Amino acid sequence: MDTLTRFELKKIIRRKSFYASILIVVCTAIFLSVVLITNARITGKDGQFLHGIPAIHLEQNYNRELAGLLTVDKLKNTIERHQSLMRDPKNLDGNGEMTIEANGTFDVKDYQIHSLISYAFSPIGGYDFYIIDKMSPSDVNEFYQKRLGKVQEYLNTEYSYGDYTQEEKAYFKKMNEDISIPFQLDYVTGWKNVFENLPNLFLIISFVIAACLAPVFANEYQRRTDSIILSTRYGRNKLIIAKLKASFLVSAGFIILGLAIYTLLLLGIFGFDGGNASVQIIDFFAPVSFTVFQTYLWAIFIGSTASLLIGAVTLWLSSRLSSSFPVMVTMGIVLIGPLLIPESKSSRFLNYAMDLLPANMFDAFNKITDYKLFHFFGRLIPEYQVLAIFPILVIVVVLPFAYWAFKTHQVF
């Protein structure tokens, strides 16, 4: 690291707001993790509900027993075990439903597979918890065909904001057909919870980045040190670049800190199992052929580049405005505003355009597993791939504007 970059980095680090920002990121990561840990719940073997860490450990043990390829035989055995329980009057209450005690002792251990069967065989847009009671074990011979059929049904549905074209349908059909079957089943609750609060984590990290970078150029104007900087030998070139490099390092540091604490804390409690599982175990109709861990890498890459984009826009505004306060207000609107705008029911183009805003990019897991395509020069590109590239392109465009805005600033 060169001397000027170290100097600019120290200027940012020495501010009280920097240490407050670290505290905010750490506390947010811990809070978002603790909320998910305390919300864990499962029916225990004695029929009593377990919460928190005991619930996590029990579900972990159950799902580890089910781990492996999700074969038709495994699906059949699950239905047979469930229906055998339902045929025994000792396991039923007065309404003919399974008692909590029987559920906790025998049935809940198969819940992960139960839910996948329900997703496959329930009507589209619905979830029939009791459909497994009405099925024959042989019905699951069509488990994977049922999934493809429901995907096709979803693509053929009419939507107020515009229907899928034949080309788009064919593209998604091929994506789904390329997914390896049988799915790889594993305990994935830890990873599922990581995805749950990633958008909130990136939102707070981006606020912190904006707060720390807002004064980078604006404070020079406020303190009237801009005239001194711009009159020095490196003031109109290397020093500006040093400011940009130091800002990038600070932004990357906040992202790494937040992600490391949040991910390691959650997986440290829930378990690191499931990284090699098919992402369809978490989102049954996901059209991508990724493992859970690959999906996580995509999600944090998209979220991180979106956060860095917030930093780049903040620097540009800081170079244009004479105070850090309006920069912060503007970035607050940029971050919160899109979250308050509902999805359009009449324009698919508007929805896609809104997805390109950083605040909406933070929900990267849903973008990766969604059925959205961008059209570029006759090519179809999945939305998640566009969201991975778009922030980088905008950053490359915006940073030179910040550089030139400060360099050509007229000192009064």
What is the per-residue pLDDT across 307-338, written as a single tens digit (0 to 9) for each? 999 999 999 999 888 888 999 999 999 999 99
Q: Specify the pLDDT at position 321.
A: 87
Strands (E), 48-135: 49-51, 68-69
Report the alpha-carbon distance of residue 335 to residue 102 in Å, rounded. Answer: 48
254: number of CA atoms within 13 Å, CB side? 37
Residue 219, pLDDT score = 77
DSSP β-bridge partners for residue 68: 185
Q: d(Cα 53, Cα 59) in Å, to the nearest integer?
A: 10
- Per run of 10 residues, the mean pLDDT along the chain (length 412 residues) is 82 89 95 93 79 88 89 90 81 76 77 89 81 85 92 88 89 93 93 95 96 87 68 74 92 96 95 93 94 97 96 93 90 92 85 91 94 90 95 94 78 56
- 285: which 2 tokens? 């109709």
Domain ranges for the chain: 3-38+187-407, 71-182
Q: How far apart are CA 56 and CA 272, in angstroms?
A: 12
pLDDT at position 229 is 66
Cβ neighbours, 10 Å, residue 405: 18
Compute the distance between CA of residue 209 and CA of residue 192 in angstroms, rounded to an integer: 26
Q: Which amino acid is at 160?
A: S
- Is it true that the peptide bond before 182 is cis, omega within 30 degrees of 0? yes
What Cα–Cα distance (Å) separates residue 291 from each residue in 21, 50, 90, 194, 283? 34, 29, 41, 15, 11
Are 17 and 211 contacting, i.e. CB atoms less than 8 angstroms apart?
yes
Whole-number Å distance between alpha carbons of 14 and 383: 40
Say what the pLDDT of residue 334 is. Answer: 93
**Amino acid 105: pLDDT:** 73
Tokens of 117: 């069967």
| Residues 130 and 118: beta-carbon distance below 8 Å | no
Prediction pTM value: 0.92
